[in-house]
Amino acid sequence: TDDRSADLTELAKRRGFFLQSAGAYGGVSGFYTFGPNGAGLKDNIEDSWRDRFTVREGNVEIDAPTIMPEPVFEASGHLDGFDDMLVECPSCGESHRADHVVEDNTDYEEAEGLGPDRVGEIIEEYELVCPTCGTGLAGQAIEDFNLMFETNIGPGSSSPGYLRPETAQGIFVEFPQLKEYARNQLPFGVTQIGRAYRNEISPRKSLLRVREFTQAELELFVDPEDGEGPDLDSVVDVVAPFYGVDQQAADDGDPLDITVGEAHERGLVADPWIAYYLGVAAEWYDSIGVDMDRFRFRQHQSGERAHYAADCWDAEAEVDGDWIELAGFAYRSDYDLSKHDEYSDEDFTVFRQYDEPITTERPTVDPDMSSLGPAFGGAAGDIADALADLAEEAPDAFRDAESDTDGEGTVTVEVDGDAYDVPVGQTGFSVEEVTESGEHFLPHVVEPSLGIDRALYTVLDHCYREDEVDGEERTFLELPASVAPTTVGVFPLMDRDGLGEEAREVAADLRERGLSVAYDDSGAIGRRYRRQDEVGTPFCVTVDYATVGEARDDDEGEPGTVTVRERDTTAQKRIAVEDLAETLDALREG
């Protein structure tokens, strides 16, 4: 598998998919530049995600800045808790992720949730060594390393900012405006596709762990008391391997190949919205070229969940013999909105209208309570506040005191550890009737969070093929036509006798129709086919003598036709030039 990933990386660089950036200056790990084919593939994957998760779901997309001020990340918990475990080699000084050292060397498949003490113990127990130089790491301190890139906003250092480690916060902080846009109607889904930045301790495995990457996230705001949920009909039949905490604990640990409907019914995926989007995602990954035999959903163990997540599933793919996380599906509850509601001056709640207005009794105490003055001296003001709180929280204390037959009639409040008995008559207690048409509450959030770079790399890996054509080895990418960077290669059989002009015209015409075209007239035709095969171009059109009406005999084709060659089978057929665009469009749509 090392060979395979080396082949893929070599192909990626040679054919303009991606390469480590700034190589002229030695490069720096964790940053990649997408070349012409990579950028095309990435755009197509993003467009297809947008179409599936935004447009077809009736969600809306926003575009927030990548740098945000410190208070945002104070509230979100990232400043305090967005850490990875770092262990430094005492000999070569290289830093490593301590949980990765554990995962790479023993039978611990997942060490993320274990905590620094336990990870330190395991390193000691198994005598684990530095992946770079082989020195033993036992006894080295395991430190928390915050993954956010810090910067200064404006001159000086008085206004720290951070490059966003996830796109999600850019959606949450704007919720007070977004809820107005949605006119307080839930469910309401907001998506964003954009760069996120994490100062990974040790970037590795090519695009799979980088320091700047693209996320495609959906934050779906739901009313937790809305019993209706999504219409699961469209996804119930989607089959995927579901790998719950129970199966992970079991000895065989095999995922269950079941439908989304079953996974939900069995309570394996409890939340209906999570179930719904697992189904949507499985179909989407399949559509962009992920091999469903090397794909699974895995539920997080409790220790592994992020600081905000109540339940979490990952979509995982097998790449180079490892299972890697493609996406996380988290039930974030009201964690984020409650934090921003608390830390900012804005109101993050949504108004829920009752079916019928509800009339309730609201107890009040006289806010002034000047009568308390003489009886309690300087403490009177504090006691008044404590009484007002008590009236809200435990109104029965007043009612009970009012009807107290012993004649005591006092309520007890505590101020700074001292208890005071206040005669209820002096509190000005009364009960008011109020009618309310609804209430304010914080929506809960369901979040499918997908990484585009990992999806792209997985698609390349899963679509990579080697076979033999005419006794020659060939490499090709079996990319779905909908994501292939180039849809069609157009070649003149040779660039003479007007074939070149005709082919250039065909190419221009197809471009006009919105198809992505590669024109190529250099080298043997077989070589040109191979070049397109290698970058996953699904169709090649060849203009020959028949096209220009100069075939020597009919076997060479009807006048006005071209050959269309299909990448995977290499089969060719003839099509009239005037039908070409329509035929290719139909083939592309599948």
Using CB under 6 A, list all residues that contact ligand ATP.
166, 198, 200, 209-210, 213, 215, 325-328, 449, 451, 453-454
Distance CA 64, CA 192 (A): 8
Distance CA 403, CA 416 (A): 28
Query: Which of 104, 534 has the CB closer to ligand ATP?
Result: 104
What are residue 488's DSSP bridge partners? 517, 539
Q: Is 137 helix (H, G, I), strand (E, B) or coil?
A: coil
Distance CA 558, CA 546 (A): 6
Minimum Å distance from CB 63 to ligand ATP? Answer: 18
Q: How far is CA 321 from CA 1, 317, 324, 361, 458, in A?
A: 7, 10, 9, 64, 12
Please report which helix (H) or strand (E) contains residue 439, including its range: strand 430-441
Query: Which of 148, 326 has the CB closer to ligand ATP?
Result: 326
Minimum Å distance from CB 541 to ligand ATP? Answer: 36
Q: How far is CA 551 from CA 76, 493, 494, 505, 548, in A?
A: 70, 12, 14, 19, 8
Whether the bond between 187 and the residue before it is cis, its omega within 30 degrees of 0, is yes
Minimum Å distance from CB 389 to ligand ATP? Answer: 40
Distance CA 14, CA 440 (A): 57
Minimum Å distance from CB 103 to ligand ATP? Answer: 11
Distance CA 500, CA 520 (A): 10
Single out the residue of 428, 439, 415, 438 nearest to residue 363, CA to CA: 428
Cα 84 to chain center, whole Å? 19
Q: Up-side HSE of residue 73: CA atoms within 13 Å toward CB?
A: 24
Single out the residue of 202, 101, 199 nearest to residue 142, CA to CA: 101
Minimum Å distance from CB 209 to ligand ATP? Answer: 5
Minimum Å distance from CB 212 to ligand ATP? Answer: 8
Angle subtended by helix axes 98-105 and 116-125, to nearest 10: 40
Q: Is 165 helix (H, G, I), strand (E, B) or coil?
A: coil
Would you state the structure tokens that stand for residue 499, as one six-digit string? 């074939």
Instruction: Give Dmax over CA atoms of the chain in angstroms.
Output: 120
Minimum Å distance from CB 223 to ligand ATP? Answer: 25
Minimum Å distance from CB 459 to ligand ATP? Answer: 13
In sequence order, what are the residues at sequence separation of 6 or more whose Cβ sits closer than 8 angstroms to the Cβ of residue 204?
29
Minimum Å distance from CB 312 to ligand ATP? Answer: 8
Residue nearest to ligand ATP (CB): 451
Distance CA 547, CA 559 (A): 5
Would you state the structure tokens that stand for residue 41, as one six-digit string? 């593939």
Minimum Å distance from CB 449 to ligand ATP? Answer: 4
Would you state the structure tokens that stand for residue 379, as one six-digit string? 């403490």
Distance CA 404, CA 25 (A): 85
Q: Up-side HSE of residue 118: CA atoms within 13 Å toward CB?
A: 10
| DSSP-assigned letters across all residues of 1-17 | -HHHHHHHHHHHHHTTS
Minimum Å distance from CB 504 to ligand ATP? Answer: 40
Minimum Å distance from CB 295 to ligand ATP? Answer: 13
Phi–psi pair at 94, nearest 5 degrees: -70, 140
Query: Which of 200, 341 has the CB closer to ligand ATP?
Result: 200
Tell me how long the chain is.
Answer: 590
Query: Which of 323, 441 has the CB closer to ligand ATP?
Result: 323
Would you state the structure tokens that stand for residue 509, as one six-digit string? 């015409």
Number of helices and strands in the chain (H, E): 19, 28
Q: What is the pairing mode between strands 295-299 and 239-243?
A: parallel
Minimum Å distance from CB 215 to ligand ATP? Answer: 5
